[in-house]
Amino acid sequence: MLLINNPSSFQNQDNSSSGIQVVSSIVIATVNTANYVNNINIGLYFQVLQSYGAGTQMCAFYNTTTSQWDNAGCSPAVYNLMFNRYECNCNHLTSFALIWLPPSSNSIDSQWDIQDTISIVVEVLSIACFIGV
């Protein structure tokens, strides 16, 4: 286990333009592959280091393939008022953090851009032409 308590140098590691911010320490968890167990469940506890106001807190891992924070395999972040922390579980080991999504984003994958809009318009026109409208 490795804990990066001051993640300021990792703030802009996500290559998306979604406004995602790391708001907690980063936890890096790994095991010796010789003793690796396929079914793993890790409990994670995060306190917010820097608040960005209204938005959604989400447990996520850094996906090195896409160079983005991803929440696949992690439960939603639940705030524990008694301990002033967010809690979640993930079913794999890697680098984890609590991330903040701006109010315009409900999830990491919900980024809607101009290409999505154009694609929908073209599909609607294509269906209309096929039907013969």
Task: Please give the pLDDT value at position 61.
Answer: 87
Indicate whether 130 belongs to any domain.
no
Sorted by sequence, the CB contacts under 8 Å of residue 85 that are 6+ apart come out as: 45, 46, 47, 79
Indicate whether 50 belongs to any domain.
yes
Sorted by sequence, the CB contacts under 8 Å of residue 7 that are 6+ apart come out as: 22, 24, 25, 26, 49, 97
Top-confidence residue, 103 or 46: 46
Structural domains in the chain (count): 1
Asked whether the beta carbons of 98 and 71 are under 8 A apart, the reply is: no
Closest by CA to 105, choosing from 16, 42, 18, 35, is: 18
Closest by CA to 46, choosing from 75, 84, 18, 94, is: 84
Total-model pTM? 0.63
Rounded to an integer, the average pLDDT of 106-117 is: 57
pLDDT at 103 over 90: no
CA 20 remoteness from chain centre: 8
> What is the residue-averaged pLDDT of the chain?
76
For 11, the domain range is: 2-108
Joined tokens for residue 94: 């890697």
- How many CB atoms within 10 Å of residue 9? 8
Indicate whether 67 belongs to any domain.
yes
Task: Please give the pLDDT value at position 17.
Answer: 58
SS3 22: strand
Tens of pLDDT, residues 36-89: 666 788 888 888 887 777 778 888 888 888 888 888 888 999 999 999 999 998
CATH number at residue 79: 2.60.220.50
